Structure 1
Amino acid sequence: MKYQAKRKAIILLEDGTIFYGKAVGNKDGKATGEVCFNTGMTGYQEIFTDPSYFGQLMVTTNAHIGNYGTREEENESDGAKIAGLICKNFSYTQARPSADSTLEQFLDRNNIFAISDVDTRALVTYIRENGAMNAIISTDVDNVEKLKEELKQVPNMDGLELASKVSTAEPYFYGDENAKYKVAALDVGIKTNILRNLAERDAYIKVFPYDATYEEMKEWNPDGYFLSNGPGDPQPLDSAIKVAKTIIDNDHPLFGICLGHQIIALANGINTYKMHHGHRGINHPVKNMKTGKGEITSQNHGFSVDKEQTEAHPDVEITHVCLNDGTVGGLAMKSKNVFSVQYHPEASPGPHDASYLFDEFIERLERAKA
């Protein structure tokens, strides 16, 4: 444990509210982005490397972060994607034999600025009451007016396209090329564990950039298509929405998760909207409207699908409902081989209540091949 005096740090919200903390690693730093919080008690590495969090300052509600270090194979992408970290107690040491580095080393490698010793309970309460908003974290605590000017330059998440910032530049393959099924995946911020779940079910995946065309994906002759999770507002993703429309028109099997779910809704003329403070955690209850069963799910989204428009759509049905606020948790098309969910069935480290959705996708591929 390090005992030297830590540098003071500040959290400045766009409405002028200020919280204080200390710089992790006792070094100067600064980061900007939309401030949000995740209620998970574990899985911080998966959160930090999830492309869906690109451009966001992550507040972890668990009081202790870093206790079990990090492990390279548990990354959900090629590195950390959060804009910065805000936590209460930061552990500079780790107690897991299988870890390959401490969290401090991991953040340093990824150039992520973090602050600790923050009253995260008060900060999260403030976000819950006033909504997610842009913020700046910095050790330049004596220049608040300068920080305010810098914060004004940070773009609002509403209307912001971020998929291009995290998508692959070139197509790549994942899994066994001799697998039974071929899946073309549109990468608008895909998590590695999604690919792992598909590969474990005998699928070979070709991952395409966010702006790939339907023709480029179709040329590979896949058995089905997948639209991934990702960051930002779905509405600016004209290319991805067009791809989804064409896949639907041609009645190919299509599965979407999170941002992919929102893209499918937009392809059906159903609007999306920015939520007050979003859903981010690993214990969100969802009701499966077909089975009546409840599921505990991992969720990470700041946008949602319009429920009234979904209910009014003649060819779309709501398959899952988020029980905390009644928002749309999943949908399916009645006349097409298309379904999607707003949450993460591939959740790592868990829960795994919704992993059956990957089995459903494989079953849909099988029926389409028959």
Structure 2
Amino acid sequence: MGIDMDHPALFARTRATLPEILADIERLVSCESPSSDLAAVARSADVVAELGTARLGAVPERIVFDGVTHLRWRFGPGPTRVLLLGHHDTVWPIGSLTAHPFGVVDGVLRGPGCFDMKAGLVMATHAAAALPDPSGVTLLITGDEEVGSPTSRELIETEASGCAAALVLEASADGGALKTERKGVSRYEIHVRGRAAHAGLEPWRGVNAGVELAHQVLAVQALADPGQQTTVVPTVMSAGTTANTVPEQGRLDVDARVRSVTEQARLDTAMRALRPVLPGAGLEITGGPNRPPLEARASADLFDRAARLAARLGLAPLTSAVVGGASDGNFTAGIGTPTLDGLGAVGGGAHSAGEHVLVDELPGRTALLTALLADLLADWRTLSSPCGLTNQQPSSRAARP
């Protein structure tokens, strides 16, 4: 049923499509899509939709929340078995192509957003298109991941609910490793209230918000736990208004990364328990967990399956990595959906002038994604009733309520 996953023909067929894969990546990279520019994101969605329609033979649903454009393809009339997940927004501002044009030199592809993660989007469309019957697959491509997915989080969690797997096309870790753990992210703001006074005439009448802020910086940093790889980092901070005034207000931003839900809860409790040190000072703590961790238990079975398929395809043994950065895979894992991340391009330099993709790795990674999809769908169809979806033709389904 489906593709013969252990046959060299799959890898060979994917290698034969490399020129089309490269052409598609060039089109996506050449359409700049910074998250903050909603018009640019909408133009990018148009290009993604055109490419996806050409490869998949189906027009996506266009979902717009607060001006942000997301795209969704659903195949077959039944429930979603596998969610393919990616994003088409980038961190690169309009005009970046001038300094960093698309190009392929000596087997290295470059261009803003190529690694994170427009190559992964192309891989997803080619892998789904290679399936004789993609029924049970949903491809969701969002437009605001780089700014924390404020409009797409609920959509992602709804789509992932009940799925057997979420496969995230974010770029690989170093050396092509799949991302089997991602730290959860919490963000906080500490607002300090002091009392202003003249710094020269009567500073003792003031309550120095800057000094209180310094105490809080040390208290926050002490919440880190190297043994559990928990990082708690004071980042942006400010206090005061003029050089001769005791600061009345102060603010501190905090970025925290944790490997487990338990540790994220421990940290949240500790942050909210912070108290002022200086008499007369006040604190307000806002923010909290932004993304739950993608824990190892969420990815273990899928990684083992992918490793077996890679061996059958004749690929190099797969490796795994724990990373501090978060993705939309944190959301799918957070609701209990098995999730495997880092299935996208092999390369490096995300968000930097050195961003690149290794061209020779594209066919193998795309073939692996195709095989993984086929394997997951085959399990589902084996267990489904005689009126299952095996003979259904691919089609986009209407949105669920």
TM-score range, shorter chain: under 0.3
TM-score computed with the length of structure 2 as normaliser:
0.24
The structure with the largest alpha-carbon Rg is: 2
Greater relative CO, 1 or 2 (CA 8 Å, sep 6+): 2
